[in-house]
């Protein structure tokens, strides 16, 4: 039996970590992630987990420590936000290239400057090309569920990649919502014992980790990393289905809402997708054929599957909670363009919510209205900024 609880998103992640009971957690506090490691350190102090908890002097060290512990065969986790993730950057790449299945919740927050502690996705987008699997969560339930599944996805023997579990800063991390948590035994049964095939501590089968790798083999290792990302597609799907059998909550690459007969579809990630669903319902009541796709898995990017789901939709709006400063739209917009290349869709970008700017139902209905006009032939900029003074 699952249990209904009312917790903040940070408490939800800490609870997932308690139930995962990792061998090693190394972490450094940063708003709005601080509570996660603070609550988890209490579990450690109270003996509720068997984790070796390493308090380090920076995020660069946090990621370095879990790279070390994961290479030693320990199930390893950390958590961070924004500038903390930016400080980890060098080692974030090393974790992926060394094929270490570390799980890291990232409480999404704007990057400085100016200094801002509130939600957007610019931190996660900075790690977009690092080789990590990136999952996004709409609410506390999904953040909790994603954290548990991340362990299985990353540790899958064909994958062996680190997984980032993203949840929106403050909007989810600091808001109480009710959701269901699993029985601890069920979680342990689901994730199973971690038995890595190769570890630094296996003295019968010695290996080298992180050596010099020049023109002779570096490229082959990168090519294998790309291949691992392809296997991740299958692992994310299989684990999501198995989790569904266990909990009744099945997960895929993305979820569709009222898309079947939709003429306009918005696509995006994170907490605002819940608000967008309310906008879709209101417009549907007025007979406007709108729908929504919420992306859960951003890396690897499910381009082919999205193209299939959107094949019949003439007008598509992309919601980007990050700016890429390419003058070519946000990161999700660029990926969507590639996914839909050669198709007849009209595609527009909407950059919203930077630095925690509130995005409400009226904003989202406004976006649908702009897209409706574009569908009727009116001109609309390729890239639009929502809820900003200009």
Partner 1 sequence: MSELVEIRWHGRGGQGSKTASLLLGKVASDLGLNVQAFPEYGPERMGAPVLAFNRISEGKMTLHCQIENPQIVVVLDATLLEVVDVTENMTPGGKVLVNTSRNPQKVREELGLEPGQVFTVDANKISQEEIGSVFPNTPMLGALVKVGKVLPLDDFREMIRDEFASKFSNKPEIVEGNLNSVDRAIQEVQGE
Nearest CA-CA partner of 173 in 181, 165, 163: 165
- Give the range of 69-77, 174-182, 237-245, 378-386 binding partner 1 by CB under 8 A: 174-182
Q: Which two tokens stand for residue 222?
A: 């990168």
Q: What residues numbered 19-78 form the site for partner 1, per CB under 8 A?
A: none
DSSP category for residue 80: B
- Residue number with CB closer to partner 1 (66 or 322): 322
Q: How far is CA 12 from CA 37, 42, 70, 108, 190, in A?
A: 12, 14, 24, 15, 18
d(CA 153, CA 233): 9
Question: Interface with partner 1 includes 354 (CB under 8 A)?
Answer: no
Burial of 332 from C-beta contacts in 10 A (0-12 / 13-18 / 19+): buried
- Residue number with CB closer to partner 1 (275 or 324): 275
Beta bridge partners of 254: 295
Question: Interface with partner 1 includes 176 (CB under 8 A)?
Answer: yes
- Residue number with CB closer to partner 1 (149 or 359): 359
Contacts of 241 (CB under 8 A, 6+ apart): 250
Count of residues in contact with partner 1, rule CB under 8 A? 27
- Give the range of 200-208, 275-283, 315-323, 326-334 binding partner 1 by CB under 8 A: 275-283
Beta bridge partners of 164: 104, 134
Question: Interface with partner 1 includes 3 (CB under 8 A)?
Answer: no
Question: Interface with partner 1 includes 117 (CB under 8 A)?
Answer: yes
- Give the range of 170-178, 316-324, 335-343, 370-378 binding partner 1 by CB under 8 A: 170-178
- Give the range of 68-76, 101-109, 169-177, 304-312 binding partner 1 by CB under 8 A: 169-177
d(CA 258, CA 291): 5
Name the minimum Å distance from CB 289 to partner 1.
20
Residues binding partner 1 (CB under 8 A)? 4-6, 117-118, 138-139, 168, 170-172, 174-178, 271-272, 274-275, 277-278, 358-362
């Amino acid at each position: 039996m699952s249990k209904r609880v009312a917790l903040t998103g940070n408490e939800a992640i800490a609870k997932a970590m308690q139930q995962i009971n990792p061998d090693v957690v190394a972490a450094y506090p940063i708003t709005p992630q601080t509570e996660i490691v603070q609550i988890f350190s209490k579990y450690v102090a109270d003996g509720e987990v068997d984790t070796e908890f390493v308090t380090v002097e920076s995020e660069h060290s946090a990621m370095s420590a879990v790279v070390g512990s994961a290479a030693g065969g320990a199930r390893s986790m950390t958590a961070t936000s924004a500038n903390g993730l930016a400080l980890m950057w060098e080692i974030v790449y090393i974790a992926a290239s060394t094929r270490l299945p570390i799980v890291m919740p990232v409480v999404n927050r704007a990057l400085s400057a100016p200094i801002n502690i509130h939600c957007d996705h610019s931190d996660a987008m900075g790690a977009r090309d690092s080789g990590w699997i990136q999952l996004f969560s709409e609410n506390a339930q999904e953040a909790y569920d994603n954290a548990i599944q991340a362990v299985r996805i990353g540790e899958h023997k064909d994958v062996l990649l680190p997984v980032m579990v993203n949840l929106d800063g403050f909007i989810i991390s600091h808001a109480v919502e009710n959701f269901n948590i699993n029985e601890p035994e069920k979680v342990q049964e689901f994730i199973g014992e971690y038995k890595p095939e190769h570890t630094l501590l296996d003295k019968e089968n010695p290996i080298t980790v992180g050596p010099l790798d020049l023109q002779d083999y570096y490229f082959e290792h990168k090519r294998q990393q790309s291949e691992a990302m392809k296997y991740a597609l299958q692992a994310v799907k299989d684990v999501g289905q198995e989790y569904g059998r266990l909990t009744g909550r099945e997960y895929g690459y993305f979820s569709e809402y009222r898309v079947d007969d939709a003429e306009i579809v918005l696509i995006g990630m994170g907490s605002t997708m819940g608000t967008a669903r309310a906008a879709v319902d209101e417009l549907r009541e007025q007979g406007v054929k709108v729908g929504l796709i919420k992306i859960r898995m951003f890396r690897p990017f499910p381009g082919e599957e999205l193209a299939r789901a959107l094949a019949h939709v003439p007008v598509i709006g992309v919601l980007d909670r990050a700016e890429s400063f390419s003058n070519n739209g946000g990161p999700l917009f660029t990926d969507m363009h590639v996914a839909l290349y050669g198709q007849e869709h009209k595609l527009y970008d909407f950059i919203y919510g930077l630095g925690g700017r509130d995005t409400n139902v009226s904003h989202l209905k406004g976006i649908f209205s702009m897209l409706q006009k574009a569908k009727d032939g009116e001109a609309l900029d390729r890239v639009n900024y929502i809820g900003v003074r200009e």
